[in-house]
Amino acid sequence: MSNYGTYLAFPRFMPETLLGDLSQVKLFDILKPLLTDKKTGRVYIKGKEDGQIYLEMGDIIHSRTYHFTGEKAFFTIMGWKAGRITFDPDVFPKEKTIIITTEQLLLNWSSRKQEFEKIKEVIPSIHTIFRLSLQKDGKEKNISPDQWNVLVLSNGINTLSEIAKSLEWDEYKTLKTVYQLVQIGLIEKAEDRIPVKKKSVREDFFNVLDMELKKAMGPVASFIIDDKLVELGENRESFTQERALPFMEALSEEIPNLQKRSEFLKTTMKLLSF
């Protein structure tokens, strides 16, 4: 048996390979040939969130996101719709968090996916708002601690996304618990909150960024900007002012020369005061 505690520093023999983008291909379609060909290495998904799935001879043995590890992390990643996917055959996990067979893992994921689709018919979005409903039948209802926690937070103001964040739950657990409460008649959908319209950046925002970054890094500037947009799960068409400063700071970190980095930030900061 493999000793996962000893997987620390392995020499790198091959560079990571870009496999695709979740906006264009399903993650399962990426995983299938890796499993069939009994590959060993790390599948890395980078977007607004980062996720990792580790394979050993075609078996899924470990998965992690920022919040979760093991099966929960794997199920979370499989539900993502955006992110760049790469594969590195020379990266190994320090631990094994998925004990069941890959076949059983995929069966569990398929069953969960079908259940998710059923829930989505009642709860179309994680941004839906629920409130307590009037009890007209007078019957006592037994609820679990998880259901009680959701019930307390379903105040007609919190979105399900905010409830999930407060409870530190994944999307699936939150929607499933809310679905159960809807089925027994304890909560109902509230009027959707009117979203605050976020302001877009000025029209020449990316042109100025491109011009200033070229001064510091040359012709690779445009590629770096586009690559950073993909990494953050953003796009030029819907980019908002609130994302401008962290984006410019992220770009500046790509500039190795400290003086040029400082000049880049000093110049581009004017874009925020427009």
Query: Distance between CA atoms of 116 and 177, rounded to whole angstroms?
Result: 12
Q: Is the dihedral of CA 224, 226, 228, 231 positive or negative?
A: negative
Q: Smallest Cα–Cα separation from 74: which of 62, 82, 83, 59?
A: 62
What per-residue confidence (pLDDT) applies to 196?
57
φ, ψ at 62 (rounded to 5°): -160, 145
What stretch of H or E contains 45?
strand 41-46
State the DSSP code for 25. S
What per-residue confidence (pLDDT) applies to 191?
66
What per-residue confidence (pLDDT) applies to 121?
83
Query: Distance between CA atoms of 206 and 35, rounded to whole angstroms?
Result: 40
Query: Distance between CA atoms of 60 and 70, rounded to whole angstroms?
Result: 10
Helices 205-217, 221-231: crossing angle, 10 deg rounding: 120
φ, ψ at 93 (rounded to 5°): -80, 155
φ, ψ at 19 (rounded to 5°): -105, -20
Q: Where are the domains of the chain?
A: 4-108, 123-189, 205-271
Q: Is the dihedral of CA 257, 260, 266, 272 positive or negative?
A: negative
Q: How far apart are the first and last CA of the chain?
A: 62
Q: Smallest Cα–Cα separation from 53: which of 82, 22, 91?
A: 91
CB 271 within 8 A of CB 244: yes
What per-residue confidence (pLDDT) applies to 62?
96
CB 199 within 8 A of CB 239: no
CB 16 within 8 A of CB 5: no
Per-residue pLDDT of the chain (274 residues; tens, 9 = 90+): 444 443 333 334 446 788 888 888 889 999 999 999 999 999 999 988 899 999 999 999 999 998 889 999 999 999 888 899 999 997 888 899 999 999 999 999 988 888 888 888 888 888 889 999 887 777 788 899 999 999 999 988 899 989 998 998 888 889 999 999 998 889 998 864 445 567 888 888 889 888 999 898 888 888 788 888 877 777 888 888 888 888 888 888 889 898 988 888 888 888 775 4
Query: Distance between CA atoms of 209 and 214, rounded to whole angstroms?
Result: 8
What per-residue confidence (pLDDT) applies to 222?
82
Give the E-state strand segments of 127-170 in sequence order.
129-132, 155-159
CA dihedral 152, 156, 161, 165 (to 10 degrees): -40
What per-residue confidence (pLDDT) applies to 15?
60
CB 161 within 8 A of CB 127: yes
Q: Smallest Cα–Cα separation from 155: which of 186, 180, 136, 129?
A: 129
